[in-house]
Chains A and B, each alone.
Chain A
Amino acid sequence: MNTDDMIVKIVSKNFDIPNSHTLDVALKNGRYESIDKLFTMDPDDVTEEVCKSGLRGKGGGGAACGPKWKLMPPLDERPRYLIANGDESEPGTFKDRQIFQYDPHLLIEGIICSSYAIGAHDCFIYIRGEYKFFIDRLNAAIEEAYEAGIIGEKVMNKYDYRMNITVHRGGGAYICGEKSALIESIEGKRGHPRLKPHGKECEWFFGQPATVNNVETIASVPNIVLNGYESYTKYGTEKAPGTMLFAMSGPVKKPGVYELQYGCKMTDVIEQIGGGMKEGLKLKAVIPGGASCPILTAEEVDKAYLDYETMWSIGSTLGTGGMMIIPEGVSMVDVAKNLIEFYHHESCGQCTPCREGCGWIDTIIKRILDGKGTVSDLTTILDVCETMNGKTVCVFAPAVKDIIKSLVQKYRDEFISYIETTEKQGDAING
């Protein structure tokens, strides 16, 4: 596939327009066009349209958005909430910030559409605390929207639908990106994920029905409302229709965020869109969708296509689509240490396997790096990964298992070389 086929600008349509974040420019470039169409539709029809579009959650899980909206109970006198997840803390992921920075009004428009579909009149956008610049920009756009009467007691000054949007600034905790931990955080508690319900049901915010959606997912809704589901299904693959904001980081010539339709060949994306590896560097591995995915060796990268199903079939996951490109010369044991430190710091500490397991694996890898490791340490790491898998409150621990297990299994030789010698294999890129 060539670049023009791969790049499809739906969410990122206005990103390159100067001052696209201001209301003036936004209105001149198609913002809020979907609202008139929205209010001619029944909320359930909006949900149907989103179901038919096959829109999948862009926060890393890839669960279908429409069916998730259907989990809200039938309308009654209880208040209902939409909660936008802008906690973006997955290493390698920096795409939601583009929406805050370049097209915050798209997010507001998406919130209006999504809230209408699920019967919510209040939306809280949870943004990670570190994103101060983006929070300020989003708040400015929300101010503009209130002043212009786009939201508030009425929508677009004419539709009798109260819509209130509030930005909630996080305090620095990756785990608050997990939807139940996010709600706990807004509710004024530590971000401990909740025990999962036994059947499918909606989320609960202060005891009232709520839906949590990723910011990019919400931003994808206006297009589906305005142009119908086929405008989305015509791109991507059958099971993963539409587009996603993919990101590339590491030593490629053009790192950044690019909106692509699903299903592109990974090497095409890295070569053509990312510009390929920087001068003199060779690709060693890619972690395809943010850190919480099994790593792909260079051979596996050749077989990879950027959609959920293909990724599963080669033993990895698409996650957030944030590709972390690792060049030859970087020690995979360093990579493992770097990532396990991340998980060790970010574990909420609530349940035993994750809390203790992350720390233990961190200690073992440090010992290996210090030249004091043994071969049985590798078995221990894999054992601990197994204990953490599927026995915890949330999916943080299985994510640790995904990346660490894949590193230890696929790069066993590098780990062994530390154990057998005290010399580091290869030189790190920057000294």
Chain B
Amino acid sequence: MGKFSYTQENEKEFERILKKYPNSDAMMLPGLWLVQEQEGWVSPDAMVFMADRLGKSPIEVHSFASFYTMFNLKPIGTYHIELCKTLSCMIMGAPELKRYIKETLGISPGETSADGKFHFSEVECQGACGGAPMIALNHTYHENLTVEKLENIIKGCK
């Protein structure tokens, strides 16, 4: 694993965003998002990079990243299926979708499919209760799901 650095584009974006804040500490969240969008996850090397950038120690970056559930601290599959499990989604059918995912993709929450294509997580309320049940597929919301609709979505993931 080599050292981490931003792409030229992300480097520019980092500098652009940095100007908007009175203190570079505020770049923790935006900076880590750029890392994750670039690599798909936040590696220890990326944490060292971020630490140097912001004048912190690497463990402080790790401490920050591990608090927020959306930062992947390990690489995950190409398609991240996040199924909401909180109350309205539970009542409206999320358990059935969970069963479907287990039966067809063979994965339980927290697992990646054997071919590395799908990673499945159960997440808390996504703010889509009116469209329950729902999943977020690579952060895009798919609401008002049925097993059939979910099947089509999964089939559409090449």
Contact = CB atoms under 8 A, between A and B. Distances in A.
| A and B touching (Cβ–Cβ under 8 A) | yes
A92 B132 CA distance: 10
Q: Nearest 8 A-B pairs (CB), nearest first?
A: A171-B68, A249-B129, A172-B70, A188-B28, A188-B25, A172-B69, A249-B88, A91-B125
Nearest to A88: B127
Given A97-B127, A171-B70, A185-B29, A133 B141 contact: yes
23 contacts: A91-B129, A92-B125, A129-B33, A166-B20, A168-B29, A170-B29, A170-B68, A174-B124, A187-B23, A188-B23, A188-B54, A190-B64, A191-B67, A208-B22, A249-B132, A250-B88, A251-B92, A257-B130, A287-B87, A324-B129, A342-B87, A430-B95, A430-B96
Interface stretch (A40-48, A61-69, A327-335, A383-391): A327-335
Given A92-B88, A206-B22, A257-B130, A342 B71 contact: no
A256 B130 contact: yes
Given A168-B29, A287-B87, A324-B88, A189 B64 contact: yes
B92 A250 contact: yes
A326 B86 CA distance: 13
B126 to A, nearest CB: 5
Interface of A: 79, 88-94, 96-97, 122, 128-133, 164, 166, 168-174, 185-191, 206, 208, 247-251, 255-257, 287, 291, 322, 324, 326-327, 330, 334-335, 338-339, 341-342, 345-346, 348, 428-431
Contacts of B59: none
B27 to A, nearest CB: 7
Contacts of A256: 130
Contacts of B44: none
Given A91-B86, A250-B92, A324-B87, 9 more contacts: A129-B68, A172-B70, A186-B29, A190-B63, A190-B67, A249-B92, A250-B132, A256-B130, A430-B93
Interface of B: 17, 20-23, 25-30, 32-33, 54, 63-65, 67-71, 82, 85-88, 90-93, 95-96, 123-132, 136, 139-141
B22 A338 contact: no
Contact of A173 (B21, B28, B67): B67
A187 B26 CA distance: 5
Contacts of B128: 94
A342 B26 contact: no
Contacts of B129: 91-94, 247, 249-250, 255, 322, 324
Given A91-B88, A168-B29, A168-B30, A173 B127 contact: no
Contacts of A90: 125
Contacts of B132: 249-250, 255
Nearest to A128: B127
B146 to A, nearest CB: 11
Contacts of A208: 22
Nearest to A349: B67
B124 A431 contact: no
Contacts of A79: 22
B136 A188 contact: no
Contacts of A342: 86-87, 124-125
Nearest to B17: A166
B130 A255 contact: yes
Contacts of B17: 166
